[in-house]
Amino acid sequence: MVELSVIVPFYNVQAYAPEAIRSLHANASPGVEFILVDDCSTDETPGILERAARDLSGAVLVRHERNGGLATARNTGLDRAKGRYVTFLDGDDWLAPGYYRQLLTAIRELDCDFLRTDHVQCSARARTIHRVPLGRRGVAINPRDAILPADTQTSVDYAYAWAGIYHRRLLDQGLLHFTDGLRTAEDRPWIWRLHREARSFAVVGLLGVFYRRGVASSLTQIGDVRQLDFIRAFDQVIDETARDPEAERLLPKAVRTYCAIIAHHLSNIERFERPVARKLRAMSATALKRMPQDVLSHTLDTMDYERAGRLKWLRRRFGSGPSGGQADAPRAEAAAR
């Protein structure tokens, strides 16, 4: 019987894939399967994965005929997962030896739907511990209780799919799949859905995932149009949260987070290609129009001056009335030029 399915997407990470594979070897054991998804790599990654499929116990290699992005690659792995539990790793990150054994022990003891863990962020030679923003640890609680408050970083802001382990019942309930085709922020609708709809979760202070920050091929480092998928991702968060029975209570958090992400991208707009920067302003303005306007107004009145100022300017520039949807985008984009 397969106890744990580990889903690892790879795309053009020939410099980092060998370390990821070595760390999987150090976590291999009976009952653990490794689903290696090659998302149509064009460098030496396919050869590395072919060797891994031969040498790594429990490894299964799946290839995409065309690149679909991280969300689609993870979904491919989920469709093939046989384990009682599921977890993720990105192809440019790595694990501590024996980490999955500890992770399985923790979720078995707590008997919850999903478990979240801290991680180590690695930038060049720097190592920084990032912790799940939740004070209660080692006890199963209702995931809804970890969404709020709106003006504080909470568990839904710690969206890393690989920082945890998930019971198969979530997969069977349709809660673990990602929005197909999202190129960035794919974890955001996913983590919000888990916190709204799962029954229990817990946080443990277990360190074992090493997250490589600043990889040149990562979308977080590339200012092209794929970065703008964060708008589609957060539109989904707002739409699904608005249909929740506790929408009035939860929407301020969703809107505030969306606004914070828009403000962050606007503050770094110089890293985007010029046409993409114009589109970012236009799409962000239209996104502000789609938000619940009373919640948005309160959010902007309570945010810090610098971020609120950027968003208020954008709102004034393109009008503050409710939007009819994407039809307003061409007009806003023309104005942004």
pLDDT tens digits, 223-281: 578 899 999 999 999 999 999 999 999 999 999 999 999 999 999 999 898 999 999 99
Claim to verify: residue 136 and residue 29 sit in the same structural domain: yes
User: Do 93 and 60 fall into the same domain?
Assistant: yes
Check whether 206 has a pLDDT greater than 90: yes
- Chain segment 148-192, per-residue pLDDT in tens: 999 999 999 999 999 999 999 999 999 999 999 999 999 999 999
Residues 196 and 249 grouped into a single domain: no
Average per-residue pLDDT in the chain?
92
Name the one residue in this structure whose structure tokens are 């962020």: 121
Residues 11 and 143 in one domain: yes
What b/e readout covers 15-34, taking b as 16+ CB neighbours within 10 angstroms? Answer: ebbbbbbebbeebeeeebbb
Query: Under a CB-based contact definition with an 8 Å cutoff, are residues 99 and 24 in contact?
Result: no
CA distance to 36, 74, 175, per residue, from 178 (Å): 17, 7, 8
Tokens of 18: 């060998």
Give 14-42 pLDDT, tens digit per residue: 999 999 999 999 999 999 999 999 999 99
CA distance 282 to 35: 39
The percentage of residues in the chain with a pLDDT greater than 70, rounded to a whole number, is 92
Tokens, residue 218? 């990562």
Q: Same domain for 257 and 191?
A: no
Q: Are 83 and 14 in contact (CB under 8 A)?
A: no
Do 67 and 198 reside in the same domain of the chain? Answer: yes
Pairwise pLDDT comparison (319 vs 253), residue with the higher score: 253
The CA distance from 294 to 252, in Å, is: 10
Per the listing, tokens 């399985």 go with 104
Q: What are phi and psi of 305, to 5 degrees?
A: -60, -45
Helix, strand, or coil here: 104?
Answer: helix
End position of a domain, from candidates 217, 246, 265: 217
Q: Which of 115, 75, 81 is nearest to 99 (CA)?
A: 115
The answer to pTM > 0.85 is yes
- Whether residues 109 and 236 share a domain: the answer is no
Length in residues, the chain: 337
Q: Which domain holds residue 305?
A: 223-336
Query: Region 277-294: what's the mean pLDDT?
Result: 95
Q: What pLDDT does residue 317 have?
A: 82
Q: Which of 155, 189, 217 is the last residue of a domain?
A: 217
Regarding whether 137 and 230 lie in a shared domain, the answer is no
Q: What CATH number did the domain enclosing 121 receive?
A: 3.90.550.10
For strand 209-212 and strand 126-130, is the pairing parallel, antiparallel, or unpaired? Answer: unpaired
Does residue 14 contact residue 43 with C-beta atoms inside 8 Å? yes
89 and 15 in contact (C-beta within 8 Å)?
A: no
Residue 218 belongs to what H/E stretch? none
Structural tokens at position 163: 């920082």
165 and 36 in a single domain? The answer is yes
Q: Show which of 217, 239, 265 is a domain's final residue.
A: 217
pLDDT over 70 (residue 220): no
Give the closest residue to 114 by CA, choosing from 103, 126, 124: 103
Residues 245 and 144 in one domain: no
Place of tokens 């568990």: 155
Shared domain check, 205 and 300: no
> In this structure, are 44 and 98 located in the same domain?
yes
Q: Domain count of the chain?
A: 2
